[in-house]
A and B are shown apart, each in its own frame.
Chain A
Amino acid sequence: MNAIDIVLGGFLISALRSATPLLFVLMGETLTQRTGIVNLGVEGQMLVGAMAGYAATAMSGNPWLGLAAGAGAGFALSWVHALLAVGVHANAFASGLAVWMLGFGLSAYYGSGLVGAKIDGFATIDAGAIATVPVIGSVVAGMTPTVAGALLLVPMASWWFWHTRTGLRWRAVGEAPAAARTAGVHPAWVQVQAIVLGGVLSGIGGAALSVDYTRTWAEGMSAGRGLVAVGLVIVARWNPWWTLPAALLFGGTEALSLRLQAAQVPVSAQLLHILPYVVSLAVLTIVCLRRRTGGTPAGLAAVFDR
């Protein structure tokens, strides 16, 4: 590998690795919010996903089972939000906070025996002939299945969301629940589906964090990434396509802040640490100034405009 490959390829793949857990969570939360429901509980769902995924991988030795367990745990916990926020019309913010605490507590309790457990995680994917292409080759060769999966998820979910009848129904529920109801759609049922799909994706995101990215379990290891995802939904303008650049923006700046230090660039570490947040905020400001409504689903905006 030449120097450009190491620097550019190394940065690109680390940005992708860093963005991957976030991308799953962000996609889930974007789809959930498109049906008019905010779920702050993704932070807790990520944690139970990370814990369950790590436990399943440690026990079975198979990281794929870990991802499945993470998805299952996120799915199960998200039902709490579905039942509270949709089922009994509890305040979605309060319910989301409750799910967050619950996920934090449950994962800490059941995860206490997992600290230091050893797993092998995923191998990088076989890049074949692509591996010889400059820069792109080293990026593809550095990918693990979760990175590739997150990248594939974006076009798949976006296509489904914009070009299928179910996608249309979900959008209708988010924009005009009353109109959707007259068209024979049950808004509450769609919202429940969207919440548990978000649960599955945030659980996978959590498992990607513990099983693949860090290969460790630590209490509270998501360290606010779930909440970052909730914020990045706004940066992505509630558009599934835009989740990729939004997640990369955050993951890339975080990776950059650590890589610059490792590359011995003399810059203030304190300033580097706020870089991901500053960049996200700057993008948000620019987008909001240019398009005043900026893609907020009307049903969701109604929550704030009351």
Chain B
Amino acid sequence: MRLPRLFTAALLAATVLGTGAPASAQTIGYIYVGPEKDYGYNTSHDLGRQHVEKTVKGTKTLHVENIPETAEVTKVMERMIKSGATIVFATSYGYLDYAIELGKKYPKVAFMHAGGLKLGDNVGTYWANSDDAIYLAGMAAGAVTKSGKLGFIAAFPIPQVIRSINAFTLGAQSVNPKVTTTVVWTGGWLLPAKEAEASNALIDAGVDVIGEQVDSPITIAQTAEKRGIHVVGKDVDVSKFAPKAVLTGASWNWGPTMVKVVDEIKAGTWKPSHIRGDLKDGTVNLDPFGPAVTEPVRKRIIAKKAEILDGKFVVWSGPLIAQDGQELLAAGKPMSMDMLESMDFFVQGVVGTIQ
């Protein structure tokens, strides 16, 4: 909803202007593409913001939600800077070029962008690999399913989503080789009505565990709870809203990374780089298990997690078979960075189309 977003953006930007932070305290600005209370991607960043405000003494944060990935974000960032912000967290993928451009105009301000692959003189990026955690969550799905039919509701066929679908399926197959994952694309990050309908359609087709990568797992989790099946979450743990349905999930934990960056900037030691976290450093967490995951299964998943942390097991390594049965990677071969970051294929057992 571009138009209302623009209007809320203007309104909220006006609010930011009005708060006028004192220049002495460290002021940090946060910009979100969606609602801060979406219980998904944007909430995960807002939790990071709250962690920074609590942990780093003498900081004050500003935050603005629902800013589209257009020139609008430049205006919002500029207003934040004029309100005293010396660090700006631009948390949506499409903000990158605007941040780099504005970085040239304000060389003393530090910009941190989520997930970008470009740097500026004062623009760094941060992101985390959630594939390992999703693989482990997929193990829970594979162990719990009775029908052997898993579903995955996803927004768009882009590499980071395709990686999740494949990791989820591989994890499930590691405990139950016969499982299949049926993919349903919704065509949008936040379309609750379609997410509910997609869940119902999958459940009617016999699916009894659903994975997801849309903005927030909440609609799917609540539908699953109502229909008596299970879900694997992502981005934020929503188990308190669907206690029986949620098996586990892969949640972001941006706080520590953000604190580290802010501390470095304050100390003057910060240099723009691509910071990449994972399960090992705690930027991604495997959520607590739900009651449907039995003790032996939990042990098995925890053991596999230890292997991943030790480097004894690598999710993205051969043997890897494509959807059509072709061999993608021979046994023991690791996947190249390029193949991983531009992933455009499904593994065997995934039912659905990318094109």
Binding site for B on A (CB under 8 A): 6, 10, 14, 17-18, 21, 97, 100-101, 104-105, 108, 112, 115-116, 118, 121, 209, 213-216, 218-221, 223-225, 254-255, 258-259, 261-264, 266-270, 273
Q: Is the CB of B197 within 8 A of A270?
A: no
Given contacts A223-B190, A273-B185, contact A116 B218 (CB under 8 A): yes
Identify the stretch in B13-21, B201-209, B272-280 within 8 Å (CB) of chain A at 4 or more residues. B201-209
Binding site for A on B (CB under 8 A): 1, 3-4, 7-8, 11, 34-35, 37-39, 66, 151, 157, 182-188, 190-198, 200-202, 204-205, 207, 216, 218-219, 222-223, 226, 238, 240-241, 351-353, 355
Given contacts A101-B4, A105-B8, A261-B182, contact A221 B222 (CB under 8 A): no
A6→B200 CA distance, assembly (Å): 12
Task: Using CB atoms, name the residue of chain A closest to B190.
Answer: A218
A254→B198 CA distance, assembly (Å): 10
Q: Is the CB of B184 within 8 A of A262?
A: yes
Task: Using CB atoms, name the residue of chain B closest to A50.
Answer: B192
- B182 proximity list for chain A (CB < 8 A): 261-262, 264
Q: Is the CB of A10 within 8 A of B204?
A: yes
Q: Is the CB of B196 within 8 A of A223?
A: no
Task: Using CB atoms, name the residue of chain A closest to B8.
Answer: A105
Q: Is the CB of A14 within 8 A of B38?
A: no
Q: Is the CB of A218 within 8 A of B8?
A: no
Q: Is the CB of B193 within 8 A of A262?
A: no
Given contacts A115-B37, A262-B151, A262-B182, contact A215 B226 (CB under 8 A): yes
Selected from A14, A219, A220, the residue in CB contact (under 8 A) with B197 is: A14
Chain A interface helix/strand/loop/mixed: helix
- A261 proximity list for chain B (CB < 8 A): 182-185, 198, 201, 352
Q: Is the CB of B218 within 8 A of A214?
A: no
Tell me the smallest distance from the CB of B169 to a CB of chain A, in Å: 14
Total inter-chain residue pairs, C-beta < 8 Å: 136
- A219 proximity list for chain B (CB < 8 A): 34-35, 37-38, 66, 190
Selected from A104, A214, A270, the residue in CB contact (under 8 A) with B1 is: A104
A268→B192 CA distance, assembly (Å): 21
Q: Is the CB of A268 within 8 A of B4?
A: no
Q: Is the CB of B204 within 8 A of A262?
A: yes
Q: Is the CB of B241 within 8 A of A116?
A: yes
A101→B7 CA distance, assembly (Å): 7
Task: Using CB atoms, name the residue of chain A closest to B34.
Answer: A219
Given contacts A14-B200, A262-B202, A269-B185, contact A220 B4 (CB under 8 A): yes
- With A14-B201, A221-B190, A258-B184 given, can you name 20 additional A-B contacts, CB distance below 8 Å? A18-B193, A101-B3, A104-B7, A105-B11, A108-B66, A112-B35, A214-B192, A214-B219, A216-B218, A216-B222, A218-B216, A223-B1, A261-B182, A262-B184, A264-B351, A269-B157, A269-B185, A269-B352, A270-B185, A273-B187
